[in-house]
Chains A and B, each alone.
Chain A
Amino acid sequence: MVINKKVLRTILDNKAQYIGSLVLIIISCLLFTMLNQLAINMNASSEDFRESYVQEDASFISDRRLENLEALEANFNILIEHNKVVDYSISEEVIIRVFSEGTKVNKPAVIKGEAVGENGVMLDPAFAEANKLEIGDSITLLGRSFTISGYASMPNYIYPIKEETDLLNNPNAFGIAIISKAAFDEVKQGSSFYSIRFNDSEMLEQRMAQFKDYLKSQNVSILKWTNTSENPRVTLVSTKIEGMNQASSAMPVVILLLSCVLTGIVIRKMLKRESVVIGTMYALGYRKLEIIKHYMRYPMLIALSGGIVGTILGAFTMNPMLKLMLKYFNLPLDKISYSLQYVVISVFLPIVFLGVSCYFVIWKALKSSPVELMKGGKDKGKVGFLEKGLKLNKLKFATKFKVREQLRSVPRSAFLLFGVILSTVLLLYGFAAKSSIDYMIKDSYGEVFKYQYEYVFNGLQLEAPQSGERFSVSPFELKEDAKTSFAVYGVQPDSKLIYFKDKNGNNLSTDSIIITKPLADRLELKPNDSISVTNKLDSRQYSIKVAAIAETYSSESIFMPLRQYNELLGYPSDSYLGLWSVEKLDMPADMLLRSATADDFKKAFDAAIEPMQKVIGIIAFMSFLVGLLIIYVVTSLIIEENKITVSLMKVFGYRKKEVYSLILNSSSFIVILGYALGIPALLALLKVLFASLAESTSINLPVTINYIYLVMGFFVIIFAFELSKHLSKKKLNKISMNEALKASME
């Protein structure tokens, strides 16, 4: 049809509105493709890694070495491997955790270079890069020299964090190294641990309990037991992939819905503008279907071009993103694959979404008769019930004008409101996450835990320490729900290094059983409630009665007096597993399972937060762009709708500033309201996200946001608004006074 020639011309005449829809679709498809393809590759890589390199189901430390591993393997249908580990300080600030090479379980994947050989060592690539260590370089570890043979990843250390309680890794200060078993035996250092993999993964918990019972029957005490499902070095990856899966479906769909609303509004405006043309086409004998087909070309053109461009951009950006993620998580990758299914969905989703929404809009607009259409449409000059119903008589003229302007097109105002809410959520998301982590760090290492050094022994200690405060810790899970796990600490009843407060700010004595708030919330516990728990080390069940709830987000834990702890678990009454101290203690390395300092943690946090700040900056910039785009498009719609009014105002002698104020500032209330509503929306979203994080990683983050960030966010949104106003001024200036003279409005 010859009329189709005007499709491109019309789009070019109203570029801003159509480009707005196009960019939103591109962003949506870019995110959809990138996140989905990323998740698929990460998932495949993680699954492949788990299977090909025999990821452990659990690891444990026992008080003595196990005999006859072959018999255990046969009896329990498992693979079990004994290995050693030791932390070695390369310098004051840099620690490298050296493992003996797993040959049956947790086999290292060589990412680059070669396997260790006799004198070789493999490093995790992020650590090597951060410390400028290259393949072929020599490195001294544990008193002897090794040659770096390659870079590797271990299936139980995919995310190489130093402590299980760490949130973020810091490759500048911590990394892992793998040397051969023979080389490890030579240096005669380190503690033993066992990695275990069940050949049959059915009823894993039960099989583990049987295995633990057997060890107990052989008088073997398990000092530490970590299920892979609770190992943050593994689970953080699955959490991230899961998060990506959620984001890859939710975010693009929200943006796509926004673009549907926007395109719907733009099409409706166009149909209103063209009602005389449509009426004439009807009168000339065009059928309704032919006219619908013509007008469907507009959204289809936008959807198809946006879908294709966005999908291509998504596919291109996936590669560098994947490399970044793999570096972050240390996963081996053989090849990058693209799922055709998601490519097809990405291209066709906007077509379906926009097709349906715009068909409805067009179909509704064409319900009028040709005569009505030729007179400018049924709705011409129609005043909505909201406008009619509102009594604005007492307001100033400018206020009345602005209110009516927003009420004239409720979908347009709603689009602006949701657009600003979305921008606010995106903008503040990073800031709120940072605030929450900051708060947790301050809470943990400022308010609650006053120690600087933590030492954990590789066996129970009976002799009184020369200095430091004794503690013990053991992993537990809820009797009814094995997925709910937490730590139970035995601490000195008069502890000077832990300070807990209740919700009223009163100090709590460590002479009673105290539960931290996140755990109490999760288990829905009140003071004096009891819970039935299972010790993960021996699978025995206990009942613990909680006396008080501590208002801290530092961990999901229960603290009880050490004597009571020992009595409960059947340990010698004065025994302990670790020491906390303000001063550095002189401890023989072979006695220690691990040691950490609060300063290390803070430094690691500061180093690790750096890339996060960059990500926050990128997200903030993206959200600024989305906000700017949405506000700009809505402003241009308002100008388009008010062409005649603006022209009239000019005829009446309105000055430029007065026209700007009335037309461009009419959305300011909605922008501010959108920002204000965005804050609770963000907090609600973070609550859900943090709850899911706590469930999968036991890391509890309080939902909070610093006021400074709120003020900053407000200024960013207002800046986007002011910039869009500035960009729109040219359009207002272009409207000539002749528009009013040519018009026949009513």
Chain B
Amino acid sequence: MSAPLPLPDRPLAEHLASLRAEVARARETRGPALAFDVATIDDRLADHGLDGAGLHEVAAATASLNDDAAATLFAAGIAARFASKRGLTILWALSKFDLYAPCLEQVGLGPDRILYAQGTKDAQVLAMAEDGLRDGSLACVIAEVKAADMTATRRLQLAASDGKTPILLYRRHRTRERCPLDTLSAAMTRWRIGCAESARLPHPGIGRPRWSVELVRQRAGNPFTLELEACDEQGRLALPAAAADRTTARRRAVAQAA
């Protein structure tokens, strides 16, 4: 995108308009963004949604298996909404297979929607993800890796914009202390997902799960943290209803359970 030089005889408003048109055109070539349909998130995202031809990174808040499962479902929900929008298949490239497919069906990724590709090491997983992106016949690609450096993420970002296919790079924890999102990356957005306590129900049982969703970094926008309700059957997130007596309810629930 090369901005035209501001000529002295050109009015400022016209110049601004041409710049805006150019930005809009660049955004159009990137493909339409996928909105979360939650105004609180969409308003804070630069594209008002997730770029449909870009790299997005997802990681668990801690190395615990619970946060890992939450982050997996967060990525699966986004992929399900990409797939439902275009009626297509997604590719899930990974090196260690411990997903449980019946649960993925419950966030909108039926078994006929997912194609799994299991590689032996990260390099192979990344190569398969790149093949899937460049092919262009997929709705979305999810790649689970332990390590991906700047070069690898930039390759994925370029492949995504070439193939007009979004990629969700799921970064697993390598060590207990270090967050995998600390390294440099060419991603459009980087998300960190953790578990949060669900709302207590008036009867015994578990309410809709909640996650703490943290946008660590986005291009042309600010980071934010929200507590959201987990994916439903179509992979949609929701904003929790304001609970006036939350602390009371929780104390009662603890008393009940104890």
A and B co-occur in one complex: no
Q: Name B residues whose Cβ lies closer than 8 Å to a Cβ of A.
A: none
